[in-house]
Amino acid sequence: MEGHEFAKRLNPSQKVLVKDLTNQNVDPQNIISIIRKQDPRCASTVKNVYNEQQRQRVSLHGNKSSMQVLFTLLANAGLFPYLYDTWLKPSKEKFVSAWCDKHLNFGNHTTNRVESQHSLLKRHLRNSKSTLEKFPIIIDRMVKLQVANIKSTFEHSQNILHYHHKRPIFSLLLRKISREALDLIAIEVGRVNALHGRPCGCLKRSGWGLPCAYFINACMNNGVPIPLHSVNALWMKLDLGSSLAPRDNDTCIDDVLDTLKHRYNVLPKVQQKIWTNKIRALWNHGETIIEEPEILANTRVRPTKAQQMKKQNLAKHGLFVVPMSLQFTVHM
What are the residue boundaries of the structural domains of the chain, listed by start? 12-71, 112-155, 163-236
Mean pLDDT of all residues belonging to the chain = 78
Average pLDDT over residues 44-66: 84
3-state helix, strand, coil in the chain (%, to 5): 60, 0, 40
37 has a pLDDT exceeding 80? yes
Res. 328 pLDDT band, cuts 50 70 90: very low
The predicted structure's pLDDT at residue 231:
92
By residue count, the chain amounts to 332
The predicted structure's pLDDT at residue 177:
92
Nearest to 191 by CA among 214, 224, 158, 170: 214
Q: Distance between CA 278 and CA 283 in Å, rounded?
A: 10
Q: What is the pLDDT of residues 1-27, one digit of tens each?
A: 444 566 678 888 989 999 898 888 788
Ranges 33-47, 113-127, 217-231: which has the least confidence: 113-127
Q: Distance between CA 181 and CA 175 in Å, rounded?
A: 11
Determine phi and psi for 301, rounding to 5 degrees. Answer: -115, 165
Nearest to 181 by CA among 220, 209, 147, 215: 209
Average pLDDT over residues 246-255: 60
Res. 28 pLDDT band, cuts 50 70 90: confident
The predicted structure's pLDDT at residue 56:
86
Nearest to 138 by CA among 126, 150, 152: 126
How many C-beta neighbours within 10 Å does residue 61 have? 14
Q: What is the pLDDT of residues 256-295, one digit of tens each?
A: 788 888 888 888 888 888 888 788 776 665 555 565 566 5
Q: What is the pLDDT of residues 97-141, one digit of tens each?
A: 555 666 777 877 777 778 888 888 888 777 666 666 667 778 888
Average pLDDT over residues 139-158: 88
Average pLDDT over residues 151-161: 88
Ranges 19-23, 43-47, 242-246, 260-264: which has the least confidence: 242-246
The predicted structure's pLDDT at residue 246:
47
Ranges 21-25, 173-177, 208-212: which has the least confidence: 21-25
163 has a pLDDT exceeding 50? yes
DSSP-derived secondary structure letter, 204: I
Q: Distance between CA 299 and CA 229 in Å, rounded?
A: 62
Average pLDDT over residues 154-172: 88
Res. 227 pLDDT band, cuts 50 70 90: very high
Average pLDDT over residues 218-239: 90
How many C-beta neighbours within 10 Å does residue 156 have? 15
313 has a pLDDT exceeding 80? no
Res. 301 pLDDT band, cuts 50 70 90: low
332 has a pLDDT exceeding 70? no
Residue 3's SS3 state is coil
